[in-house]
Chains A and B, each alone.
Chain A
Amino acid sequence: MTHPLDIHRKTPRNLKLVHSVPVEAGGEFIVHEGYVYMGSRYGNKNTLHVIDVHAPKTAKLVSTMRFKRAIGSLAVRGTTLYASESQRAINLISLENPATPDYFDCALALGKTVYEFGFVGDFLVAALNWDGIGIMDVSVPNKAQWVDTLKLEEGYIEHLAVVRDRIFATCASGGIAVFEIQEAKLVQIASPKGDDFNASSVFVVGEHLWFIGTPEGKETHIYVIDPNKVDEVLVSFELDVSAPSTLIDIADGVAVGWNGYTCIGYAPSQAWARNLFKQHETDEDKVYVETPCDRNALSEAEIEEIEMLSIMCMDDTSCVVREGDFILAAQGDTLNIYSIEEASLLAKR
């Protein structure tokens, strides 16, 4: 795969596509013991793909498990993979042998939409949309059962992050909420950002939490919050670029995220956010083409070259994970594996 723009490049390249694994349905994934487990929250393929990524350049699809409904969120604790199946259950899959997962049990969630997961001690915490938030005792994997759910007075929960023993959730129509588990019961201990913004997602970046939210009548912001002092917003930074749908923590309060086929850098503490590059591929032979978002950074020859190339945007990026020197990205129905180039912000640690 020769990069068509290599000859003229004035700007450093960030990623090099080293391998692609097409799958039936792409979506969120996690990496465990050299294997990618990939579900697909939307669509009707209802698959869970297992992809061996021990050797990223020759990664391959090992198997595909099929369910009745879509597999959305995934999390691993010990050797158990927890996979939410839309409106039905959280499925329990043994990864004793990671290459051949074994679906051995489920915890019912009939009629429930289960979004993000996290673990607090022996409890699996799940965002349950309009049903609020729920905890499941998973101390004995094959006896997993719901022990408590807590509905919000208003709003729904799609995203959450766990820092130490606290659960930080986005309440889509009412800011954020903080929970703890006390004696197997969920307790809401704070609701620090009641009305100021509607949080749409939350990420853990370094020691901090980044909430993405949109205050009434304003542009989207990143709010940086110290999980120990939730009443105080450390940084409130208005974005003039798109918010990330998936994010990688780089270092020192810097993170790189994706929105569609655009890679964006964020450093809210330095009041900085910038579109870094866009991902394309050539129309016919599908060679990866990366173009800087800043056209001024391009030489005339590059601009001319780009304009002559028949390129298409890469499919939307739904999930990205950094594994060593590689970036694994679910883009459309493909797991793309990129090596990180030295000069890239993504190479920083």
Chain B
Amino acid sequence: MSYQQAYRDAWKQGPAAALAFLRAVFHHPGNQHVKGEPSDYLSDEDEDEGKLTPAQGFDKMQAEFCPRQSVQEKIEFIMECLVERRTSDQDQGHRVTPFNALLLTVGTYDWGDATLSSIHYNPESGAWKLQYGLNHELIEQSDNYREDSDWYTFIYDLAHSDHYKLCYEGEALEGEMLFSQIRAAQYALYLEGLVDVLATQPSFADFPKTQPLHFLIDESEWAKTEGTLEHKIEWRAPLDAASIEDSELLQRYVAAAVPPPELSRDDRWLYLLKSIREPKSPQYAQLIEALASDSELMAWSFEIAQGAVETEKQQRGGAPSEQPPDAGKPDDRKPDDNAIAKAKIQCSRVSLRAWAYLFWSIPANVPQALTLTKSILALPSPVLSVVPRGKIEERSKSAISELFGTWKFINDSHKEECQEEFEAARKRMQSVETPVFRVLFAEQEMRLKHGVDAAKPKRWGVAYNLEYVSNTLIDAVVACVDELLALPDSERDFDFLLTRLLGLGIKAQTALPGLLRCLDEIEPGSYRTNRLLDDLPKVFFDLGLNTPPKRIREHIEGQQYHNFDFYKAWATQVPKALWLEFVQAFETDSSGFNEPGSWMKYLSEGKHAEAIFVAGILQHKGREAMLSALGKAVSSPAPLLLKELLYSIAEHYFGKTKTRNLPKVVELLADCAELDQANQLKLRQSELVLYRGAADSSKLKGTALVASLAELQERYSDSPALYYCRAELALHAGGAEACGTTTLKALQTLSAEDLVYRKAVFQFAGIDTESWNDATPFHGYAVYQWAATFFAQDSYRDGAYSDGPQSIDRDLFYRALENIVAPLTNEERYAALASLRAEYDFGPTLHTAQLAELSTALTDDNWNINYQICKKLVAVPLVYTDELLKNYSQFRDDETRRRALVALMWPIEELRMPLLADPAFQGDLATFITAYPGATKDTCDLVFSTLAKMGQHEVILATAEDLNAHTIIASFLNINRGIQALGAFDRGVALLDRILGSTSPKKPDFVLLTTNKGVLQFQQGNAAEAERTFETLFAMDWSRFDYKEDDDNFMAEILGGDLDAQLRDVFKQYYAMAKYNAACIYATRSGVQEAVSALHEATELYPPGYPAKKIQGESDFAPIKTAPAFVALIKSLGESQ
């Protein structure tokens, strides 16, 4: 049974049954797929925006439906529309096409609102028309959600995207249709109650309506242009005599249902004539019947039609007919000319073809139909030169439609009689020169010859079947372009032309010169300019122009966001080719940068072009050689173009926060002649960061470091950062006093022109006289230490400078005074100075005392002193292990200090085991692993492998229990060893359950974790549970990972690869592992078929992981080893490998 049939059948049981049917479709397990890319949900922030599944969305639609108005208020509204808007015209209509149905029409835009209409309905034909004034929105947007409307995405995706692909018994279902059907069933259910109350309202009982009164629902909006009759559902029994026989309002219903008296013949004719443009309406059928049975009415109608032809003829500029139809006839010849006069006015805008259709629809009336048709075909072509410009399209369309429409309606058996007139009329029209008319006429000719699809009208413009496009049409469109250039601004002409150009695409190539001229000649800022720049890019692209014209490029690339999806491919097409050409040339002659080529010209013509070259150079296997050649080319005065290329590459390496590529920046810019100011700054900041890195990592030491700093100071004498570096160097080389002296000098220089700065130094460092004469090295040392603290807190992460190059060149002394010292209260500042004083005073001892002496100088509370001592003690770690560990215990409560001490000890291999054996450190292990500089996985693996060597499996598991999901996933292999060694499968399962709870079930990691959980459950001896774990995993929607790359992945290659493809591959690997492990369980439980099928999937998904040899060696497959399916699988694997 087809879906529609099943759906209609469900409706026979009422709206509740229809809704239940739809619920079953939406809840079907096979329908729960949600479209997506592998990289969706990659960021944790995306989590909340996860798409609802069809089942969730369906339930949400039900739960959120909550009409804001009460039923009583809705009824009052309905009656207001009927009663208060009732007119005598409507009453007249009721006498011919009586009100006998209420129709609810469901819309599919937004949330799916619904309109209730009072109508006349013919149950036999299904035809209907509005009757009386009810045609209003009964259920609106806000009735469809309670407070929270953020799940609208589901509705939108269901109705207007391909995110959900639902099926019914293999039949694909359209989302918009389903959306509409849900709403229809839902609303009908709501209306049941409303109609019950409505029926008890005296005002409704009194309102004119015939019985039976039908209740209809129309959810056909999704079907758009299709006929609507077959989609109408009579969702409840009609209101008729039987259903109201017990009602208190029976008499009133009966009175209101009395058929109204018939209209007079003439009034009825007038009323029916209103339907002349609605041949499917119930009125139209009555009109035909009336004319066929009343020759006088027919004559009147014919007279009006002929009059209309005459009027049209005069409008087109033709001479009046020699004898107008009613000329010379005495007025008294018409018994009721009043009705004719009324009808003439009423039908003044009726098209001639509508009249022709009417007459051809009355079989006995062929002579009149023929006469009328021939007079229409004989009409002259319109004289458009006198028509106002804005009306040309409309008038042209009208004249063409009258001709071809009338021709279409002629009965086939009489077409031959009119052929000659028709051909003559076409010929006349062919000679019209107005380009818009010519385009429209050519389109109509195409339709006549090849059917309507040859030039199918769309909401905006027309869709051509290019196979049938005629040269006449193309010429006419090109003529439009030329005409457009010559004429003043006209929005309508422009839209007309654009839609045609877009429709013709490459076929309109002859329009290119005109369009390019258009682009050159337009004045900036005008309406037409904006339209051209917004709309012409696509036309040019479709016309096959191989590169965007400059003005278009400037327009598009000047916008931060634009929706020209095609632009990137278009703009890069030529540069891509030129890049490849350049590479080829470079490979034969590496001085390529000095050789001007066509590629150079393109570089200056847009950022996409330059981006191609920058990305191309950076990704090229011969990158170093290219960069070196480029560097050489710009080391002497070079073309700006080359410099800009170099600057762009430098910019790429410079980055905002990362520093690892700064050596490249220095390499590129250092030798460049005449750097601009921005790049001078880049070079300076890069060099300062590199110095910082060299000093911190001890890559440069001693005299080399001094020399490097001196060299920088010579070039950047005004750099505030270098003053700090000098004080730092002084501390390491000469101790606290030297550092203080150097800092003091720096402060005098830096604050020379700044009273506030000076005052801050004096007041904060405690120089009460506010005179440099009274400043001592200690004061300088204090300011230096504050600066060092500020620098470490503000710019360092994981022991390395992390603030990006733009923040390097700051006056750290001033920053520290502002940020570290100013917020302190006086008391806090005094205490800080006292601590620094003790540290300062200890300085000489630190420099001169032996380690043994120092080890006894460790204090109970002075962190700075102890830290300085520990830095010395780690030189002989095994001797001073106890002191170091004791000091660690002493300061471990302060996270910053704990990290500083671990940073001293952990890198020393001899200290690792003692540290790991220390109970205090064991308690801090989880935070140590995640916070220690470098890759967490590496630290974790090192910790766990060392602990494993020490036999500390319990510590491994206890630590793992405190780690986050990312770390556990990364180091699960090591953690699993601990689980296996302890046989603690239950704790392993609990651990995995915890992290599964915080892992998105949409990420590949979820598969990996679940697989491990299943395996541990199996090891636990809980095979049934394990099988359920796998089954649940496999039942989830992983369709996002069925990802296929674009054929053209050029950009992806040079811009860093395809992330979705990478994630898909990871997923496949994990999913294959899940299938393989599930196969192991099936082999021991469910049987051969399931096991082989799962194995087959594993080998398909990730062939390198599951060769025949591995499978044959797997002990879990022993029970099925001889099964033919298993043997066949192994054989096929063996063959393919």
Q: Which A positions have Cβ atoms within 8 angstroms of B?
A: 68, 85, 87-89, 91, 103, 105-106, 108, 110-112
Q: Are A108 and B755 in contact (CB under 8 A)?
A: no
Interchain CA distance A68-B760 in the complex, whole Å: 14
Q: Are B822 and A106 in contact (CB under 8 A)?
A: no
Residue of B754, B755, B759, B822 touching A111 (CB-CB under 8 A): B822
Known interface pairs A88-B756, A110-B756, A111-B823; 4 further A-B residue pairs with C-beta atoms within 8 A, sorted by A's residue number: A68-B754, A91-B755, A108-B759, A110-B817
Minimum Cβ distance to chain B for residue A158 (Å): 20
Q: Are B755 and A110 in contact (CB under 8 A)?
A: no
Q: Are B763 and A108 in contact (CB under 8 A)?
A: yes
- B817-848 interface with A by 8 A CB criterion: 817-819, 821-823
Most B CB atoms within 10 A — which of A68, A88, A108, A110?
A110
- B-side contacts of A111, CB under 8 Å: 818-819, 822-823
- B-side contacts of A110, CB under 8 Å: 756, 760, 817-818, 821-822
Nearest-neighbor residue (CB-CB) of A87 within chain B: B818
Q: Are B817 and A103 in contact (CB under 8 A)?
A: no
- B-side contacts of A106, CB under 8 Å: 755-756, 759
Interchain CA distance A111-B822 in the complex, whole Å: 7
* 18 pairs, CB–CB < 8 Å, chain A vs chain B: A68-B754, A68-B756, A85-B756, A89-B756, A91-B756, A103-B755, A106-B755, A106-B756, A108-B760, A108-B763, A108-B822, A110-B760, A110-B821, A110-B822, A111-B818, A111-B822, A111-B823, A112-B822
Ordered nearest first, which 5 A-B pairs have the shortest CB separation?
A110-B822, A89-B756, A111-B822, A110-B818, A88-B756
Residue of B759, B821, B823 touching A89 (CB-CB under 8 A): B759
Interchain CA distance A255-B38 in the complex, whole Å: 66
Most A CB atoms within 10 A — which of B755, B756, B759, B818?
B756
Q: Are A108 and B819 in contact (CB under 8 A)?
A: no
Minimum Cβ distance to chain A for residue B819 (Å): 7
Interface of B is mostly: helix
Most A CB atoms within 10 A — which of B817, B822, B823?
B822
Interchain CA distance A104-B1058 in the complex, whole Å: 64
Query: How does the 8 Å CB contact mask read for B644-677 relative to A, with 1 for contact and 0 for none?
Result: 0000000000000000000000000000000000
- B-side contacts of A103, CB under 8 Å: 755
Minimum Cβ distance to chain B for residue A86 (Å): 11
- A-side contacts of B823, CB under 8 Å: 111
- B-side contacts of A89, CB under 8 Å: 755-756, 759
- B-side contacts of A105, CB under 8 Å: 755
Minimum Cβ distance to chain B for residue A265 (Å): 42
Minimum Cβ distance to chain A for residue B818 (Å): 5
Query: How does the 8 Å CB contact mask read for B728-765 relative to A, with 1 for contact and 0 for none?
Result: 00000000000000000000000000111001100100
Interchain CA distance A255-B760 in the complex, whole Å: 43
Nearest-neighbor residue (CB-CB) of A104 within chain B: B755
Minimum Cβ distance to chain A for residue B789 (Å): 16
Nearest-neighbor residue (CB-CB) of A149 within chain B: B825
Minimum Cβ distance to chain A for residue B20 (Å): 46
Interchain CA distance A338-B818 in the complex, whole Å: 43
Interchain CA distance A85-B818 in the complex, whole Å: 14
- A-side contacts of B756, CB under 8 Å: 68, 85, 88-89, 91, 106, 108, 110
Minimum Cβ distance to chain B for residue A186 (Å): 15
Interchain CA distance A248-B1052 in the complex, whole Å: 65
Minimum Cβ distance to chain B for residue A72 (Å): 15
Minimum Cβ distance to chain A for residue B757 (Å): 8
Interchain CA distance A110-B761 in the complex, whole Å: 12
Interchain CA distance A112-B760 in the complex, whole Å: 13
Nearest-neighbor residue (CB-CB) of A69 within chain B: B756
Minimum Cβ distance to chain A for residue B817 (Å): 6
Interchain CA distance A112-B818 in the complex, whole Å: 9
Interchain CA distance A209-B569 in the complex, whole Å: 67
Interchain CA distance A121-B773 in the complex, whole Å: 36
- A-side contacts of B818, CB under 8 Å: 87, 110-111
Nearest-neighbor residue (CB-CB) of A110 within chain B: B822
- B756-810 interface with A by 8 A CB criterion: 756, 759-760, 763
Interchain CA distance A5-B763 in the complex, whole Å: 61
Interchain CA distance A273-B6 in the complex, whole Å: 71
Nearest-neighbor residue (CB-CB) of A92 within chain B: B755
Minimum Cβ distance to chain B for residue A131 (Å): 10
Interchain CA distance A110-B823 in the complex, whole Å: 8
- A-side contacts of B763, CB under 8 Å: 108
Nearest-neighbor residue (CB-CB) of B753 within chain A: A68
- A-side contacts of B821, CB under 8 Å: 110
Nearest-neighbor residue (CB-CB) of B762 within chain A: A108
- A-side contacts of B754, CB under 8 Å: 68
Interchain CA distance A108-B756 in the complex, whole Å: 7
- A-side contacts of B819, CB under 8 Å: 111
Interchain CA distance A264-B329 in the complex, whole Å: 77
Query: How does the 8 Å CB contact mask read for B585-604 relative to A, with 1 for contact and 0 for none?
Result: 00000000000000000000
Interchain CA distance A85-B756 in the complex, whole Å: 10
Nearest-neighbor residue (CB-CB) of A107 within chain B: B759
Nearest-neighbor residue (CB-CB) of A145 within chain B: B763
- B-side contacts of A85, CB under 8 Å: 756
Interchain CA distance A108-B823 in the complex, whole Å: 12
Interchain CA distance A206-B1028 in the complex, whole Å: 83
Interchain CA distance A307-B755 in the complex, whole Å: 54
Most A CB atoms within 10 A — which of B755, B817, B819?
B755
Interchain CA distance A91-B818 in the complex, whole Å: 16
- A-side contacts of B822, CB under 8 Å: 108, 110-112
Minimum Cβ distance to chain A for residue B752 (Å): 13
- B-side contacts of A88, CB under 8 Å: 756
Minimum Cβ distance to chain B for residue A137 (Å): 15
Query: How does the 8 Å CB contact mask read for B850-881 relative to A, with 1 for contact and 0 for none?
Result: 00000000000000000000000000000000
Interchain CA distance A111-B821 in the complex, whole Å: 10
Minimum Cβ distance to chain A for residue B186 (Å): 36
- A-side contacts of B755, CB under 8 Å: 89, 91, 103, 105-106
Interchain CA distance A108-B817 in the complex, whole Å: 11
- B-side contacts of A87, CB under 8 Å: 818
Interchain CA distance A110-B829 in the complex, whole Å: 14
Nearest-neighbor residue (CB-CB) of B817 within chain A: A110
- B-side contacts of A68, CB under 8 Å: 754, 756
Interchain CA distance A110-B818 in the complex, whole Å: 5
Nearest-neighbor residue (CB-CB) of B819 within chain A: A111
Interchain CA distance A112-B822 in the complex, whole Å: 9
Minimum Cβ distance to chain B for residue A111 (Å): 5
Interchain CA distance A88-B755 in the complex, whole Å: 10
Minimum Cβ distance to chain B for residue A43 (Å): 19
Minimum Cβ distance to chain B for residue A2 (Å): 33
Minimum Cβ distance to chain A for residue B586 (Å): 46
Minimum Cβ distance to chain B for residue A145 (Å): 9
Nearest-neighbor residue (CB-CB) of B822 within chain A: A110
Interchain CA distance A68-B821 in the complex, whole Å: 20
Interchain CA distance A105-B763 in the complex, whole Å: 13
Nearest-neighbor residue (CB-CB) of A112 within chain B: B822
Interchain CA distance A91-B756 in the complex, whole Å: 8
- B-side contacts of A108, CB under 8 Å: 756, 759-760, 763, 822
Interchain CA distance A111-B816 in the complex, whole Å: 11
Interchain CA distance A85-B817 in the complex, whole Å: 16
